[in-house]
Structure 1
């Protein structure tokens, strides 16, 4: 009798243990490289909250900002290995996997974020989310940071002013060509190192959005910022096919709904913060903000247009034309 009771107890214990394991939430590790108070950081926090609400805590999002887990150069490899489940790298970071997304790096392609939205929500723009599917990655949506500005150790008013200067860039052949056409020196360096590189004068300048320039305090070590609005800094929220396939249909629907809502929230913040953070930088008195005249801007546009032609074959001439047409509202 004692043996039968012991066996029954063991069986019940195993069933209980199995149930406990089954009840543990599915964890999504969301890795990103910027501060919590940026559009990306705030979007990630909102996504965390929404997933918990929509799935009754069945899925748990853990957010790791400020490159705590991985930099953007390593996070996609880590995702394919299963070490993280979601990330939102800058679109430039996908250059190792596809040429198509380099479209978003082309200088002066989009006039403003309204044009970007029109293109990204179009059939062509949505199709580009699948550009890395053959590499085991799934694009789930776009997130704005904003239009990029140029900062430097000297005033930049016309293209010739950039000649000979060293600029930090993300890993992107397009961005490299963008500065080479100006006879400047582009240097591919991690985002986490930019402040120190500027502070020690190892580089002369960089390009970034107002929110990144403010949150990372680049304006404190750059005496001049040119409001060029010359490029776009956007991200693509991505997951691995392997992880996505492990979720049930219902879970995928809930997570995607949470993400879409969080992205709308983050994109509005990007617009608001561009205005607010520019004002804070101006009020600090630490740097001079240079506003280009229409004639000066036209010189920059003319100087950088050859970059479009250089990458036309890789990106697709029709795709570039479709993006450019989005400027017509």
Structure 2
């Protein structure tokens, strides 16, 4: 009898001590983190998501389990933001166009020809103004961790075209972006907002006549199979913001948050290193397939596109802010060499 009482006392003491210091069985259960995205695994975002999983689980062994759901397996374009806010998923990486309902300033990324190339966009994203945008939606329940590059956008259609007037009246799939709706109107085309997963069938059946995307997205979704011409316009950037549910993120233990932040920083470097490579490979693969013709514009043709779209700036300047537009534009300007100090006279 005495032995039973002693064993019972020992068990109760163990439970009390482990509870006091937080070393319970439940504390050893890893935090499950669902990361959902809408593109294929062989795209920059798909590869970066897997890299983040690898890094996070390595830095936080036994503490986190990252589950990656590509290709709209868990949530599509229309549902992923709502799912994040409901904490049904903890991390998503939508294109920057998706955030204009939470802050109009994010529309700066959609302005036509605001960045001359992907490097200019990256410089702006890493600027003071770009970093501030990551934290600009916390009151809406969203915290941006970083930007993932995905390359420049190009127009593609089921007909041969070179100039804005060539696509007048055509229907183009666009993301849920008011800026892109205005862009399509500026060239006389009709923008139709549509989920990414629906685009191939819509092109195949003629629901839309064209779309605009990065080469890696076009190739991974086989859009080139149902398009006649891809015009290398470089008219916009198609980058992503990796965002988390703010309440979930702020409730994480400090060490977990630190480890995830480090993993995200490293995954971002990895993403931006492979983005150009993936787009170059996709461009070459599209050409090799021989189904869609990739056309490089002359300087005169490109000037026509820029001229047609210029009024879009005035339309959105009040919402975005002239200073923010100027900051984004400055990222495309060559860095000014530092003036040499005059020799000191002795």
* TM-score in terms of structure 2 length: 0.91
Question: Displacement of 1:279 after TM fit?
Answer: 0.5
Question: Displacement of 1:306 after TM fit?
Answer: 0.7
Q: Which residue number in structure 1 is paired with residue 124 of structure 2?
A: 119
Deviations 1:215-246 (A, max 9, x none): 00000010111111111101000001111112
Aligned length: 329
Whole-angstrom distance in 2 between the partners of 1:4 and 1:155 = 88
Deviations 1:139-187 (A, max 9, x none): 1000011100111011221110110000000000000000011111110
Q: Which residue number in structure 2 is paired with residue 139 of structure 1?
A: 144
The answer on 1:154 being equivalent to 2:150 is no
Aligned with 1:224 (options 225, 229, 236): 229
Question: Displacement of 1:14 after TM fit?
Answer: 6.6
Question: Displacement of 1:10 after TM fit?
Answer: 7.3
Q: Which runs of 5+ in 1 are unaligned?
A: none
Question: Displacement of 1:197 after TM fit?
Answer: 0.2
Whole-angstrom distance in 2 between the partners of 1:245 and 1:214 = 38
Whole-angstrom distance in 2 between the partners of 1:81 and 1:196 = 30
Tell whether the 8 Å contact from 2:36 to 2:74 is kept in structure 1 after alignment: yes
Question: Displacement of 1:73 after TM fit?
Answer: 2.3
Q: Which residue number in structure 1 is paired with residue 340 of structure 2?
A: none
Aligned with 2:74 (options 60, 69, 74): 69
Aligned with 1:300 (options 301, 305, 314): 305
- SS of the residue corresponding to residue 150 of structure 2 reads strand
Q: Which residue number in structure 2 is paired with residue 101 of structure 1?
A: 106
Whole-angstrom distance in 2 between the partners of 1:13 and 1:321 = 63
Whole-angstrom distance in 2 between the partners of 1:65 and 1:49 = 15
* TM-score in terms of structure 1 length: 0.96
Whole-angstrom distance in 2 between the partners of 1:46 and 1:271 = 17
Aligned with 1:180 (options 175, 181, 185): 185
Q: Which residue number in structure 2 is paired with residue 278 of structure 1?
A: 283
Whole-angstrom distance in 1 between the partners of 2:287 and 2:94 = 28
The answer on 1:258 being equivalent to 2:263 is yes
The answer on 1:86 being equivalent to 2:96 is no
The answer on 1:189 being equivalent to 2:204 is no
Q: Which residue number in structure 2 is paired with residue 21 of structure 1?
A: 26
Q: Which runs of 5+ in 2 are unaligned?
A: 335-346
Tell whether the 8 Å contact from 2:164 to 2:188 is kept in structure 1 after alignment: no
Question: Displacement of 1:248 after TM fit?
Answer: 1.9
Tell whether the 8 Å contact from 2:104 to 2:319 is kept in structure 1 after alignment: yes
Whole-angstrom distance in 2 between the partners of 1:6 and 1:128 = 58
- SS of the residue corresponding to residue 32 of structure 2 reads strand
Question: Displacement of 1:4 after TM fit?
Answer: 3.9
Deviations 1:39-96 (A, max 9, x none): 0000000000000111123111110111111113222221121111101011111122
| Structure ID, larger Rg | 2
